């Protein structure tokens, strides 16, 4: 019986933790990680302050957990679905379009979660800065690896510079995000798709493999 009660408490704690993190990623995507506080979360979610504090222990751990949760959502919405597409230029194109869909669909109300927190923590130091750096680097490395894989499969020209192309594609995606959020419009996403498709056609050994953007 004691084990059953303990399991029940753990399960409730996990559910509460996920409830809190779902709210923290939304807040941080609009207002930044510094906007997070135990008191605010307890009030908005109708939880006890002591209960929320017990789950995280400090504001810094709450911020770190929020970054980890956003990264998990990122993988779930972008990286994992793209991996279901065959490797090569098809996967690279799918990766880019999934990212644009993620931003345009406002998975986080502030657009791309990481665009917001990178701007907030880029000039700081400490564990939260380091966590944001790791998340941003993981994404860039993944785009580079997807490009390198497409090159090795012969879908991109042998001389394709993977880090350079990744930099250009990520810049186009992030520009679409910031312009759309700033002006509350979606035209920037189509412009980004057109630009990405154009850039991939230049790099592709068979430009017809890159879809036309309607």
Tens of pLDDT, residue by residue over 115-151, are: 999 999 999 999 999 999 999 999 999 999 999 999 9
> What predicted TM-score, i.e. pTM, was given to this entire model?
0.90
- Counting Cβ atoms within 10 Å, is residue 74 exposed (0-12), middle (13-18) or buried (19+)? buried
Per CATH, the number for 2-209 is: 1.10.357.10
The residue ranges of every structural domain in the chain are 2-209
Residue 6: other Cβ atoms inside 10 A? 10
**Cα–Cα distance measured from residue 118 to residue 133, given in angstroms and rounded to the nearest whole number:** 8
**Cα–Cα distance measured from residue 114 to residue 135, given in angstroms and rounded to the nearest whole number:** 8
Q: What is the pLDDT of residues 69-118, one digit of tens each?
A: 999 999 999 999 999 999 999 999 999 999 999 999 999 999 999 999 99
């Amino acid at each position: 019986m004691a084990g059953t009660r303990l399991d029940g408490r753990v399960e409730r704690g996990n559910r509460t933790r996920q409830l809190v993190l779902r709210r923290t990623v939304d807040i941080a995507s609009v207002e930044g990680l510094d906007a997070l506080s135990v008191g605010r979360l307890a009030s908005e979610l109708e939880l006890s302050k002591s209960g929320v504090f017990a789950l995280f222990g400090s504001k810094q751990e709450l911020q770190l957990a929020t970054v980890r949760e956003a990264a998990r959502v990122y993988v779930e919405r972008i990286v994992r679905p793209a991996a279901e597409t065959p490797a090569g230029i098809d996967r690279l194109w799918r990766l880019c379009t999934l990212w644009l869909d993620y931003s345009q669909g406002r998975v986080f109300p502030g657009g791309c979660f990481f665009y917001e927190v990178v701007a907030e923590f880029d000039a700081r130091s400490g564990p939260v800065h380091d966590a944001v750096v790791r998340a941003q680097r993981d994404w860039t490395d993944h785009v580079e690896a997807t490009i390198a894989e497409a090159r090795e499969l012969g879908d991109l020209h042998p001389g394709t510079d993977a880090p350079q192309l990744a930099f250009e594609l990520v810049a186009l995606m992030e520009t679409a995000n910031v312009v759309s959020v700033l002006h509350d419009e979606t035209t920037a996403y189509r412009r980004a798709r057109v630009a990405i498709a154009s850039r991939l056609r230049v790099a592709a050994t068979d430009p017809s493999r890159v879809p036309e953007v309607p």
